[in-house]
Structure 1
Amino acid sequence: MEFVSSLAKSVFEKVNGELVEVSEIPGLKLYSCQQEIDLMPIVIQPSICFVLHCFVLQAKKRVSTGQQSFVYSEDSYLINSVTRPVEASLLDVSQERPYVGFSLAIDQQMVGQLMMEMSPWQKETSSQPQRDFTQATKMTKEIENVVTRLLGLLNNPMDREILAPSIFRELYYQVLKGPGGGLLRNCVSNHAGANRVAPVIHYIEQNFERNLAIEEIASVAGMSASTLHEHFKQVTTVSPMQYVKSLRLHKARSMLSSGYQVAEVCYEVGYSSPSQFSREFKRYFGFTPSEARSLATTIE
């Protein structure tokens, strides 16, 4: 599918071969890479992610979350509704066939407003349980059109300032109408299934560097510790406390790969003992925090 190929090439030139660049549009990140990356730990934020068509053979991106993997390319997009540690890979990438893409942070207030406006027409859909937090979804012509207009704003400051909010709103609207709409509703709602756990994950995201106790986390969900453990593990495949540790270590790996000092990272992600941090980091990733600082650039 010919998907905004000229815009994709301009994005690649703008990012200049670097892995990520925060654009002039708030919440929009641009990505490009000319080499494959295998299973790099990252912390993914609530966002909608796209791979752009740039060349005849196009790169793919894979996001793995425990027992699940999601692959998306030019004819699909990824929706992620909560902050979570994942393993990301870039596939079929080379200098002749680079990876080019972008992500848009989810504006919970804007999505919530749209949900209220759409509720008279989507009462049945909006009440359906949503069991997943991440999903790869097929691209539609409507979303392709919105994305084309969104990227077209990059080179015009006045257009960015005036038109970006309305185009974001239109993109959220098209996603909410589609099969991945439930994941956007996860960001602002508290329904059955995964939605019951979503507020807990948001709380952990905001407080993971503190000494969290299971009782405190359970109180956020309005459940007993044992009930939360059961629901949380059913959705995420790990316990709440395992999730806290995983989020800390993935955040630490990202910071180390960006050049932060080991001691600084240790305390920043919530460890009080550098030796404990080093032991748990090596047990989780297979190498020490110091070795992580010298590895290749991370995806973020």
Structure 2
Amino acid sequence: MMAGVSGRWLRVLVASGLSLLLLPLGLALNPDMGSSSAGLLWLLGTSLGLFPLTFRFLLAAGGLLALFTGVVLFTPLTAFLVRGLVVRDVPQKADLIVVLGGGMHCGAGELEASSLARLEKGLELWRAGYAPRLTLSDTVGEIFGSAGCPSLGRVALERVRALYGEAGPEVVLLPKMRTTRTEALAVAKLVRDRGYRRVLLVTTPTHSRRAVAAFRKLGLEVWSVPSSEPRFDMALPTPADRLQALTPIVREYLGLLKYRLQGWL
């Protein structure tokens, strides 16, 4: 009896440690995971140690995830998958620079690094004379998980006005933006209504294939001019860079699948 109880607690202890070790991979796949969700996953993993069958399942899953992590960190597969997501065109003279929405730090009311990189690239193209105007996405707070989150586009517009004042570019806010699809639909309407022709599309590199395909599906004449990648080195020289790249790889390939099934590509 005592041996059975001791064995059970040993399994629980091992399951708890293994769950903790796997949490960084879960956070890499979903960086928006909150502490409560991470804690629930740890508790779930720990509970699998209560019974021999579920404990064996946890060990098998842990082994597969360890193999997957090794492939991601130490083989060329990650670089191959990242290259498949990037569309980079030579910029052309255009009517409009479309700066797609990225992320927001809702608590601080500040642009997240991907949004800053996209805005910086859009302004760089404007300063170089490629187009006289740009669009920003006037987002709804719910897409960032908080109804009170400021609009990404309006925060970005304040930044543009602080930098350039009245001498800055003409800015068009696309209202109530939630997804790349809604941004593409709004830009297509804007192009039709104003008689524009050519669009320069700015987003982060790993988002560019899905974004440019969604815009071209609507008949837009689009050139993809990605920003820099703020989260990792695009050359992927280190295992840490390859681990950071895992999040956009999973998100974008799933996004491509979803958009194809919806007929949006």
Query: Which has the greater radius of gyration?
Result: 2
Tell me which interval the TM-score lies in, with the shorter structure as reference length.
under 0.3
Q: TM-score when scaled to structure 2?
A: 0.21
Q: TM-score when scaled to structure 1?
A: 0.19
More strand by share: 1
